[in-house]
């Protein structure tokens, strides 16, 4: 009989946290590149569906991340999706899954981190993830990571025959899940696990992950429960910016830092951004207005509706806007300005401007608001990567933020 | 293969949601839309929307590489310690990916991995390390061009059909239609216990039946649906793509020779992995004939037959024999006993090699005496596969016998030294098989 492990909740890093060091002060990455339409529910994608919507298809998608790897991006973070949001653009109706992208990219790339984004609440088991992750980490020479998502869409949860749990309780499941997974990676002999949500007997996972002591864990928690989970278990936090106020990003960074200290840990914060970059501020602003004027309203409404449709309390989340009367449109209920801001870029920050302003914007988020990295998504991601290489990285270099 | 129309399995009365023309979206229209999907009527097989995948091949005998993703492969002999990199640890990625790439270039038609949750111990640490068979498929897709990449899934482990259906659709997308699934109903209690499960083994083929039916709905339907089975329930199965590239779906295979397995394979799969008693291969042809008739008569379906093989070949029959004798003399009895014990302790019906009457006498002396030396060796070396041995000419003849006399369509090969094995298949066997008309 294997020995039952005692600890079933975090913080749990008996061998410390993994190092993920780059020579650069500001880390860069690509976000939401693995699904149809990425973070852009705008009819502007239909003007060039191949480049603006269907880049998730493997030949284009693998080329995109190979390019990101070549130009020195530290991260790519795929999006997790089990249901699309429809609309005229068939927004997010196709999505490469979290195993395929990480394992498939491993042989094609050299340095870039390959986290999977997965909703661990969807009928998954920690032993599965420990084994899958260790295998991808082995095949990529220590470049796998996990972006832990609790699950926030009722329709997706119900797809697996599960009940949509109260928000904070979902993070309790995550806590136990990740503790269990870490046991699989750390254990040097078979063990039993008996938790509130997961059990297992005589568990033995090899190979162990290549990165020591374990793969990099990230989380995009924004609520207090989410940030608490991230600071207990993860190494990075990806921050949304639904209000559009950079001070909120600074607050998340401070909160994460303070709370991590309580757990005797370190958590670094980066934000994800929807980007429109052009030669001049004016041109970028014009394009933003165009895209906002062409919102795929059904897709955006579905997306926001699903985000708002939460049982129980969602403590402190600024997403929790009151819904209007039955005849109101979702756009009216959340306000037209919020509608386009949440819609374009999945409630992330928006970086819109000429190349000089964009570089300055990234510097500001780094220096003034504690954002150690940026994850970008664009209407046309391949062009975005090209702009990053040709216009943004050189400017960041001059500022001393990139080597 | 005639292709059925998709109407035959569309959820009854399901209609596409009306295209929203207006850009004004009332809140109340969002909620009711949840319910537009309909329940699918079919929850059990036989079920082949669009027909079976066309698995016609120019080759009369398909050749695959088996067991490359676990330590020691199929060889529970201390011989693997003589050159650990080549004989034991080739599951490690740099070597494993080179191996499968070589097999692809050599003309192998498929690779078939193990799926493992634990090892069998012994001095050699048999199967103590393994790459999982799901993540290796999309990774290998990037370094190979032609061969079919199988994953294996155990039904008694924690697995959900929607996960596997979705991964499979993606793996097939990134490999350009080269993915397949080996469905193992599950034969080790320990596999289930790892996930805190206590599966009722008498139900495992029923569970597998429902599991695969739900996967086939996911792969073929284009509107959301509701699935209400006994083991899997979903109020809204969404339709996030991509769908599989191979049409109408990826190849499915199932192993072992019990009645339950044959019925399941006949209902749902495209290949059957046959177990064969070593001493009487004539039973194999009978089994194949019976199974083919059964599948055709009961379900109107076709099955290809696949056997697993352990191969020892050399320039001369004498040196092959000498190599084989060395393997046998060095059998790691701890690991081998564990393999045999597990085979004897299979829950439920008696299956495959061994008689239940033998299982009752477990503990009455040495396991080798109990099951007989031939059975013991077959499990220790080759993990139950057929042993082929001899000169290159001999082995080519033996393969011809498997194809002609024993009606096999495919062989999954394992070796002590798989890289050498792949080289020998490319250099020695493929030309001979071509002359015999078994390979195009």
Q: What value does the mean pLDDT take over residues B311-318?
A: 98
Contact yes or no for A403/A302 (Cβ under 8 A) = no
pLDDT reading at B25 higher than 70 = no
pLDDT reading at A52 higher than 70 = yes
Report which of residues A261 and A330 the model is more confident about: A261
- Residue from the list A58, A83, A132 with its beta carbon closest to the beta carbon of B174: A58
Percent of chain B with pLDDT over 70: 86
pLDDT at B160: 92
Band (pLDDT 50/70/90 cuts) for residue A316 is: very low
pLDDT at A164: 83
Chain B stretch 242-261, residues whose beta carbon is closer than 8 A to a beta carbon of chain A = 242
pLDDT reading at B359 higher than 70 = no
Q: What value does the mean pLDDT take over residues A366-378?
A: 98
Q: What value does the mean pLDDT take over residues B172-193?
A: 90
B143 and A CB contact within 8 Å:
yes
Chain A stretch 31-70, residues whose beta carbon is closer than 8 A to a beta carbon of chain B = 36, 57-58, 62
Contact yes or no for B78/B416 (Cβ under 8 A) = no
- Residue from the list B20, B173, B236 with its beta carbon closest to the beta carbon of A158: B236
- Residue from the list A84, A99, A330 with its beta carbon closest to the beta carbon of B27: A330
Give the span between the Cα atoms of A89 and B65, in whole angstroms.
Answer: 43
Supply the angle between the helices B161-174 and B204-220 in degrees, to the nearest 10: 50
**Contact state of B241 with A83 under an 8 Å Cβ cutoff:** no
Average the pLDDT over each of A37-41, A286-290, B18-22, B46-50 and give the range with the smallest value. B18-22
Chain B: give the shortest CA distance to residue A353, in Å: 28
Token pair of B374 as six digits: 């031939």
Alpha helix ranges (H) inside A83-166: 98-105, 126-139, 154-159
Report which of residues A156 and B43 the model is more confident about: B43
pLDDT at B360: 66
Chain A: give the shortest CA distance to residue B370, in Å: 27
Average the pLDDT over each of A317-321, B234-238, B366-370 and give the range with the smallest value. A317-321
Q: What is the pLDDT of residues A200-212, one digit of tens each?
A: 999 999 999 999 9
Q: What value does the mean pLDDT take over residues A226-246?
A: 95
pLDDT reading at B362 higher than 70 = no
**Contact state of A82 with B240 under an 8 Å Cβ cutoff:** yes
Chain A stretch 14-33, residues whose beta carbon is closer than 8 A to a beta carbon of chain B = none
Chain A: give the shortest CA distance to residue B193, in Å: 5
Contact yes or no for B29/A330 (Cβ under 8 A) = no
For residue B172, which residues of chain A lie inside 8 Å, CB to CB?
Answer: none
**Contact state of B117 with A138 under an 8 Å Cβ cutoff:** no
- CB hemisphere CA count around A378 (13 angstroms): 23
Chain B: give the shortest CA distance to residue A216, in Å: 18
- Residue from the list B139, B158, B160 with its beta carbon closest to the beta carbon of A160: B160
pLDDT reading at B16 higher than 80 = no
Q: Is A26 helix (H, G, I), strand (E, B) or coil?
A: coil
Residue of B104, B120, B121, B135 to mutate when probing chain A, most A C-beta within 10 A: B135
pLDDT at A153: 84
A263 and B CB contact within 8 Å:
no
Band (pLDDT 50/70/90 cuts) for residue A159 is: confident
ipTM for the whole complex = 0.93
Among chain B residues, the shortest Cα distance to A200 is held by B196
Give the span between the Cα atoms of B397 and B432, in whole angstroms.
Answer: 9
A104 and B CB contact within 8 Å:
yes
**Contact state of A125 with B141 under an 8 Å Cβ cutoff:** no
Please give the angle made by the CA atoms of B115, B90 and B277, to the nearest 5 degrees. Answer: 55
For residue A100, which residues of chain B lie inside 8 Å, CB to CB?
Answer: 138, 167, 170-171, 173-174
Mean pLDDT, chain B, whole residue set: 88
Mean pLDDT, chain A, whole residue set: 92
Give the span between the Cα atoms of A10 and A174, in whole angstroms.
Answer: 10
For residue A125, which residues of chain B lie inside 8 Å, CB to CB?
Answer: 158, 195
pLDDT reading at A34 higher than 80 = yes
Average the pLDDT over each of A72-81, A331-340, B399-408 and give the range with the smallest value. A331-340
Q: What is the pLDDT of residues A89-100, one digit of tens each?
A: 999 999 999 999
Average the pLDDT over each of A301-315, B160-174, B293-307 and give the range with the smallest value. A301-315
Contact yes or no for B242/B175 (Cβ under 8 A) = no
For residue B242, which residues of chain A lie inside 8 Å, CB to CB?
Answer: 57, 94, 96
Chain B: give the shortest CA distance to residue A18, in Å: 22
Chain A stretch 75-94, residues whose beta carbon is closer than 8 A to a beta carbon of chain B = 81-84, 86-88, 92-94
Phi, psi of A352 (to 5 degrees): -125, 125
**Contact state of A155 with B236 under an 8 Å Cβ cutoff:** yes
Determine how β-strand B386-391 pairs with β-strand B410-414. Answer: unpaired
Q: What is the pLDDT of residues B253-265, one digit of tens each?
A: 998 767 888 999 9
Residue of B23, B33, B113, B193 to mutate when probing chain A, most A C-beta within 10 A: B23
Q: What is the pLDDT of residues B91-102, one digit of tens each?
A: 999 999 999 999
Report which of residues B279 and A173 the model is more confident about: A173
Task: Mark B52-69 as b/e (b = at least 16 C-beta within 10 Å).
Answer: bbebeeebbbbbbbbbbb
For residue A155, which residues of chain B lie inside 8 Å, CB to CB?
Answer: 34, 236, 238
Average the pLDDT over each of A70-79, A117-126, A147-156, B119-128 and give the range with the smallest value. A147-156
pLDDT at B122: 96
Give the span between the Cα atoms of B324 and B320, in whole angstroms.
Answer: 6
Chain B stretch 103-132, residues whose beta carbon is closer than 8 A to a beta carbon of chain A = 117-119, 128-132
pLDDT reading at A238 higher than 80 = yes
Report which of residues B279 and A91 the model is more confident about: A91
pLDDT reading at B153 higher than 90 = yes
E strand spans, B189-241? 225-228, 233-237
Instruction: Kindly calculate the radius of gyration of chain A based on its CA atoms and give it in whole angstroms.
Output: 20
Contact yes or no for B142/B93 (Cβ under 8 A) = no
- Residue from the list A124, A200, A305 with its beta carbon closest to the beta carbon of B30: A305
pLDDT reading at A245 higher than 80 = yes
pLDDT reading at A279 higher than 70 = yes
pLDDT at A221: 85
Contact yes or no for A371/A239 (Cβ under 8 A) = yes
pLDDT reading at B391 higher than 90 = yes
β-sheet bridge partners, residue A351: A275
**Contact state of A94 with B131 under an 8 Å Cβ cutoff:** no
Using CB atoms within 10 Å of the CB of residue A283, give its burial: 0 to 12 exposed, 13 to 18 middle, 19+ buried: middle
Q: CB within 8 A of A63, min separation 6: which ones?
A: A382
**Contact state of B170 with A96 under an 8 Å Cβ cutoff:** yes
Band (pLDDT 50/70/90 cuts) for residue B36 is: low
B211 and A CB contact within 8 Å:
no
**Contact state of B162 with A159 under an 8 Å Cβ cutoff:** yes
pLDDT reading at A78 higher than 60 = yes
Q: What value does the mean pLDDT take over residues A379-400?
A: 98
Chain A stretch 169-188, residues whose beta carbon is closer than 8 A to a beta carbon of chain B = none
pLDDT reading at A310 higher than 80 = no
Chain B: give the shortest CA distance to residue A397, in Å: 34
Average the pLDDT over each of A312-316, A332-336, B298-302 and give the range with the smallest value. A312-316
For residue A36, which residues of chain B lie inside 8 Å, CB to CB?
Answer: 241
Contact yes or no for A65/A109 (Cβ under 8 A) = yes
**Contact state of A159 with B136 under an 8 Å Cβ cutoff:** no
For residue A57, which residues of chain B lie inside 8 Å, CB to CB?
Answer: 173, 242
């Amino acid at each position: 009989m294997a020995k039952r492990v005692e600890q079933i909740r975090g913080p749990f890093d008996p061998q410390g946290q993994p190092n993920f060091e780059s020579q650069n002060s500001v880390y860069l990455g690509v976000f939401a590149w693995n699904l149809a339409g990425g973070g852009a529910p705008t009819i502007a994608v239909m003007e060039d569906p191949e480049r603006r919507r269907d880049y998730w298809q493997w030949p284009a998608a693998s080329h995109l991340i190979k390019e990101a790897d070549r130009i020195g991006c530290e991260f790519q973070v795929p999006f997790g999706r089990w249901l699309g949001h429809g609309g005229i653009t068939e927004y997010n109706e196709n999505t490469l899954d979290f195993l395929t992208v990480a394992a498939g990219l491993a042989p094609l790339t050299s340095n870039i981190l390959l986290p999977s984004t997965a909703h661990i609440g969807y009928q998954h088991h920690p032993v599965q993830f420990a084994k899958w992750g260790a295998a991808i980490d082995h095949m990529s020479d220590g470049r796998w990571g996990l972006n832990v998502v609790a699950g926030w869409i009722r329709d997706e949860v119900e797809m697996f025959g599960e009940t949509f749990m109260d928000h904070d309780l979902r993070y309790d499941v995550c806590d136990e899940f990740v503790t269990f997974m870490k046991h699989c990676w750390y254990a040097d002999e078979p063990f039993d696990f008996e938790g509130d949500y997961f059990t297992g007997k005589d568990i033995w996972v090899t190979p162990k992950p290549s990165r020591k002591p374990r793969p990099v864990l990230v989380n995009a928690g924004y609520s207090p429960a989410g940030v608490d989970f991230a600071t207990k278990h993860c190494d990075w936090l990806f921050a949304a910016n639904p209000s559009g106020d950079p001070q909120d990003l600074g607050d998340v960074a401070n909160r994460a830092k303070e709370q991590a200290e309580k757990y005797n840990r370190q958590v670094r914060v980066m934000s994800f951004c929807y980007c429109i970059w052009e030669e001049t501020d004016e041109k970028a602003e014009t394009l933003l207005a165009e895209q906002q004027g062409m919102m795929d309203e059904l897709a955006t409404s579905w997306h926001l509706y699903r985000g708002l449709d939460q049982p129980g309390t969602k403590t402190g989340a600024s997403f929790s806007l009151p819904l209007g009367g039955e005849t109101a449109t979702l756009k009216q209920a959340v306000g037209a300005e919020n509608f386009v801001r949440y819609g374009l870029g999945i409630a992330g920050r928006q970086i819109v401007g000429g190349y000089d302003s964009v570089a300055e914007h990234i510097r500001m988020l780094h220096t003034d608001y504690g954002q150690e990295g940026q994850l970008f998504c664009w209407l046309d991601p391949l062009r975005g990567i090209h702009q990053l290489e040709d216009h943004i990285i050189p400017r960041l270099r001059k500022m001393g933020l990139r080597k | 293969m005639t292709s059925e129309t998709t109407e035959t399995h569309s959820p009854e009365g399901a209609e596409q949601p009306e295209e929203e023309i207006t850009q004004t979206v009332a809140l109340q229209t969002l909620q009711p839309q949840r319910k537009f999907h309909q329940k699918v009527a079919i929850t059990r097989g036989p079920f082949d929307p669009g027909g079976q995948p066309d698995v016609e091949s120019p080759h009369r005998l398909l050749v695959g590489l088996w067991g490359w993703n676990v330590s020691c492969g199929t060889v529970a002999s201390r011989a693997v310690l003589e050159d650990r990199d080549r004989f034991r640890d080739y599951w490690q990625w740099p070597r494993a990916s080179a191996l499968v790439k070589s097999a692809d270039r050599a003309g192998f038609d498929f690779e078939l991995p193990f799926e493992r949750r634990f090892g069998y111990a012994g001095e050699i640490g048999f199967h103590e390390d393994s790459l999982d068979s799901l993540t290796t498929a999309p990774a290998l897709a990037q370094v190979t061009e032609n061969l079919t990449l199988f994953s294996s899934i155990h039904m008694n482990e924690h697995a959900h059909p929607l996960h596997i259906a979705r991964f499979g659709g993606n793996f097939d997308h990134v490999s350009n239609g080269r993915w397949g699934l080996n469905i193992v109903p599950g034969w080790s209690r320990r596999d289930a216990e790892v996930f805190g499960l206590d599966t009722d083994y008498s139900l495992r083929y029923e569970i597998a039946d429902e599991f695969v039916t739900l996967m086939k709905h996911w792969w073929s339907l284009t509107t959301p649906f509701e699935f209400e089975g006994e083991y899997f329930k979903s109020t809204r199965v969404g339709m996030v793509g991509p769908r599989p590239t191979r049409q109408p779906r990826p190849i499915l295979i199932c192993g072992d020779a019990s009645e339950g397995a044959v019925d399941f394979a006949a209902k749902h799969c495209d290949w059957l992995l046959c177990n064969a008693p070593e001493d009487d291969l004539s039973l194999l042809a009978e089994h194949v004939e019976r199974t083919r008739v059964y599948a055709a008569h009961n379900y109107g379906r076709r099955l290809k037959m696949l056997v697993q093989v352990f191969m020892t070949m050399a320039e001369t029959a004498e040196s092959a024999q000498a190599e084989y004798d060395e393997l046998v003399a060095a059998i790691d009895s701890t690991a081998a006993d564990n393999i045999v014990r597990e085979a004897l302790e299979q829950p439920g019906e008696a299956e495959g090699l061994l008689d239940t009457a033998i299982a009752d006498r477990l503990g009455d002396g040495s396991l080798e005496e109990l099951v007989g030396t031939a059975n013991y060796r077959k499990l220790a070396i080759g993990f139950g596969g057929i042993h082929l041995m001899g000169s290159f000419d001999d082995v080519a003849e033996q393969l011809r016998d498997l194809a002609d006399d024993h009606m096999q369509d495919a062989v999954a090969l394992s070796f002590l030294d798989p890289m050498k094995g792949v080289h020998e298949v490319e250099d020695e066997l493929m030309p001979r098989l071509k002359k015999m008309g078994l390979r195009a």
